[in-house]
Chain A
């Protein structure tokens, strides 16, 4: 009995040490501040407690599907022409809502086999289903292929955003796929209270395109002046606004010469006048394409429109006339230094494959965070102290038991959070409170039961034995029920609710250990020292 007791006590001390290590690690110093520092290093506080921004973005995945079908439309036209198949039109009937659909009109009746063989032979078209007959056919992207594109778009966006926030040097940013919606991304930026600039950088697609410009490198004062000059618009062109300071209107080619993912590297530089520029280098393939284009459309070749527009995020950043063939290097001028830095960052982190929009933002100022922690901790400590003092008064000797079990329970819970790198949020505190409540409850259950047995005239040792045995059944039932519900919350919940479930589950398991095992060992230790028949302090 004695030896068994010593073994058990050693086991308890070992557990205590392991979890104290979990809370503090090896602290740099043992002063109050040093301990606090190492505690905060191990247990991170949630945004609701320390301040920061929590953003949820939605990726417009349809855009990426649309871009893919745009390619398919071009390819199909090219192939049909090459095979001398007559057609009136290849287009997307509803590009906004159904970007996955392409309609081919005016196919002659005898050409349907040719159309089918083009669709099956071209590898880029194999992810499409061809339907229809007569002179009209519909080409629809297979749902699985569309979903692949959508998933890839979200993954690429996460990568790009991750790179951007990391380059900005923000501390502990979190960028991950958000579980709730279909194509959503969660971004958490702790400790940031001014997020206007960060948000702009995240949101910016970072898509750099070079397109041919028409009419003039200076742009036009209004849309009307363009329509007057061309009586409408030149074929295959669109109108784009300029970026400040030149907010004019430009006529640019619909299909860019160089697209969003063609930049290899970008950096901030200076022009001849010492003004900031962004210098960029294209990938080899894009460089060749660009050289071919500028070779054919420069001032010397007599092209009526020897103009280039550098388009960033669908705004013309700069337009100029092409004097001679250009290879893979380019530069953007006329921007303030901060903007130049941001643009270089965007180009290096890669373009977002689709635009994104903010659908949720929660920004807690650091002052509020400080305030909530201080008040929350004070209130919890005050409540716990009140409970512990009451237990001492009400159960006297056994109250020490309960208080020790309670403290150990908290140590294990916090130690677990330290080990697992869990984040303490407000709902997490709710989990701690329920744990403490159930810890007290387990003790009360056992003590009341022991008292009852003592009233029935049992001896101290037998009463303790019976009390624990009877209360154990109840304790198991209450704990398992709560753990079952916590487990379900963990599966179906997200974010804060999940945190609550994890804290609760571990707290309850710790509680089974402290309230039943530890408390029992303490009782046994007291009982072995007592004379036979001596009363128990409970």
Chain B
């Protein structure tokens, strides 16, 4: 089977379309970053408190808001999560605590407020909050079955497994426990001191202001340094202009991807940064494949102009480019569609990034080489094609 054979597409002839396409998306992203959503940062970068809660029934956002208001939390954003039937809500509180208090104070404030919106008070007595240690000690100190403590360790583990694996973290009633095989006396004994609320906090992120600033700086620096590292390697293996073109293409991809996150108001988390690094690697890979072909063709096609060589090289590698991108896209799309909410931002970045990364190696990096050469000709009147040296140090010789 073969999809592409001897394609003769004039890619460079369409550079104005490419340029306007890239400009439209970059500018749209930039406009959104500066005037609309800004760059929506995940909680680890901006600091604050984000709590994901699953409720037993369909949650009433107004009721949650009232409960939070009563507890003195006024600027929280409350937003539905996941599919409608999952009853999940996200409570997002921007940085409020000063640098002098514990960053996790707000988390407990929110949980306490949610408890009081029901009839209960003390969240440490909530079996949907309590952990192994709490249950084990509670059972052992009451000793309802008159058995050694190890038996209660086992029961506590059994309750937790039932809650976290079978019931997705949310118990509904003590009767449910009995039906799941927990000894009735143990369940009743727990019911005397503990209660079961109608919600479960399944994810809590608390980040103090100084951590956010450190991580922001560090992620930015790591990305910039890695781009610089690639530039140096390409300079060494090809020519400086090749490295510059490849890095510009990667920058273009990152800009458009971050722009897309801004347009869709999806927060950029640490995992999204990993995805962006992945797409930089991927886009660089794509660009190098084309450049390698250009380098090879420059040696063989001495008569043709650089733009003809570039066009030919893109066409020769087109089959590989489309195949690889298509296959990787397939993997990433599968992650995006079936990977669940944790992978959502991550796979979104890759879905966009792979499309843009493939496009940019054809439409940004390669035409830049030609544009640079045209500019040099116009400036000096000569035609110094930036041809990578034939051989020399650092060049891998082709084994034939």
Binding site for B on A (CB under 8 A): 48, 51, 56, 58, 168, 180-181, 192-199, 203, 337-338, 357-368, 370-372, 374-376, 378-380, 382-384, 386-387, 390-391, 393-396, 426-427, 430-431, 433-434, 436-438, 440-441, 444-445, 448, 451-452, 465-466, 469-470, 472-474, 476-478, 480-482, 484-489, 491-494, 496-497, 500, 504
> Would you list 10 pairs from A and B whose C-beta atoms are within 8 A, ordered by A residue?
A357-B101, A365-B203, A372-B343, A386-B331, A394-B323, A437-B282, A438-B282, A472-B398, A489-B277, A497-B277
Residues in B317-349 with C-beta less than 8 Å from chain A: 317, 319-320, 323-324, 327-328, 330-335, 337-340, 342-343, 346
Asked whether A500 lies within 8 Å of B398 as measured between CB atoms, the reply is no
Asked whether B203 lies within 8 Å of A496 as measured between CB atoms, the reply is no
B230 at the interface (CB under 8 A from A): yes
Asked whether B332 lies within 8 Å of A433 as measured between CB atoms, the reply is yes
Asked whether A181 lies within 8 Å of B102 as measured between CB atoms, the reply is no
Measured between C-beta atoms, what is the minimum distance from A384 to chain B in Å?
7
Instruction: Give the chain B neighbours of A56 by CB distance below 8 A.
Output: 208, 211
Asked whether B343 lies within 8 Å of A376 as measured between CB atoms, the reply is yes
Asked whether B319 lies within 8 Å of A448 as measured between CB atoms, the reply is yes
Asked whether A379 lies within 8 Å of B288 as measured between CB atoms, the reply is no
CB-based nearest A residue for B210: A359
- Please measure, in the bound complex, the distance between the C-alpha atom of A472 and the C-alpha atom of B292, giving whole angstroms: 11
Is chain B's binding surface mostly helix, strand, loop or mixed? helix
Asked whether A194 lies within 8 Å of B129 as measured between CB atoms, the reply is yes
* Contact A484/B233 with A180-B211, A430-B275, A466-B400 known, Cβ cut-off 8 Å: yes
Asked whether A481 lies within 8 Å of B342 as measured between CB atoms, the reply is no
- Please measure, in the bound complex, the distance between the C-alpha atom of A474 and the C-alpha atom of B398, giving whole angstroms: 10
Asked whether A444 lies within 8 Å of B320 as measured between CB atoms, the reply is yes
B278 at the interface (CB under 8 A from A): yes
Taken residue by residue from 197 to 214, chain B's Cβ proximity to chain A (1 for < 8 Å, 0 otherwise) reads as 000111111111011001
B39 at the interface (CB under 8 A from A): no
Known: A383-B335, A448-B320, A448-B323. 20 other contacts (CB 8 A): A181-B214, A203-B102, A357-B103, A358-B208, A359-B211, A361-B104, A361-B107, A365-B203, A371-B168, A375-B342, A430-B275, A444-B327, A473-B396, A481-B230, A481-B234, A484-B233, A485-B281, A488-B229, A497-B273, A500-B274
Instruction: Give the chain B neighbours of A337 by CB distance below 8 A.
Output: 141
- Please measure, in the bound complex, the distance between the C-alpha atom of A380 and the C-alpha atom of B108, giving whole angstroms: 36
- Please measure, in the bound complex, the distance between the C-alpha atom of A253 and the C-alpha atom of B136, giving whole angstroms: 42
CB-based nearest A residue for B280: A485
Instruction: Give the chain B neighbours of A470 by CB distance below 8 A.
Output: 296, 398
- Please measure, in the bound complex, the distance between the C-alpha atom of A64 and the C-alpha atom of B44, giving whole angstroms: 29
Binding site for A on B (CB under 8 A): 1-2, 44, 52, 100-104, 107-108, 124, 129-134, 137, 141, 160, 163-165, 168-170, 200-208, 210-211, 214-215, 218-219, 221-222, 225-230, 232-234, 237, 270-271, 273-275, 277-278, 280-282, 284-285, 288-289, 291-293, 296, 316-317, 319-320, 323-324, 327-328, 330-335, 337-340, 342-343, 346, 350, 396, 398-400
Is chain A's binding surface mostly helix, strand, loop or mixed? helix
Asked whether A430 lies within 8 Å of B346 as measured between CB atoms, the reply is yes
- Please measure, in the bound complex, the distance between the C-alpha atom of A378 and the C-alpha atom of B233, giving whole angstroms: 37
Asked whether B398 lies within 8 Å of A366 as measured between CB atoms, the reply is no
Asked whether A372 lies within 8 Å of B320 as measured between CB atoms, the reply is no
Asked whether B222 lies within 8 Å of A368 as measured between CB atoms, the reply is no
Asked whether A437 lies within 8 Å of B103 as measured between CB atoms, the reply is no
Asked whether B285 lies within 8 Å of A488 as measured between CB atoms, the reply is no
CB-based nearest A residue for B342: A372
Measured between C-beta atoms, what is the minimum distance from A439 to chain B in Å?
10
Measured between C-beta atoms, what is the minimum distance from B200 to chain A in Å?
7
Asked whether A361 lies within 8 Å of B215 as measured between CB atoms, the reply is no
Asked whether A433 lies within 8 Å of B285 as measured between CB atoms, the reply is no
List 8 A-B pairs, minimum CB-CB distance, nearest first.
A194-B131, A367-B169, A383-B331, A359-B208, A375-B340, A427-B274, A383-B334, A365-B202
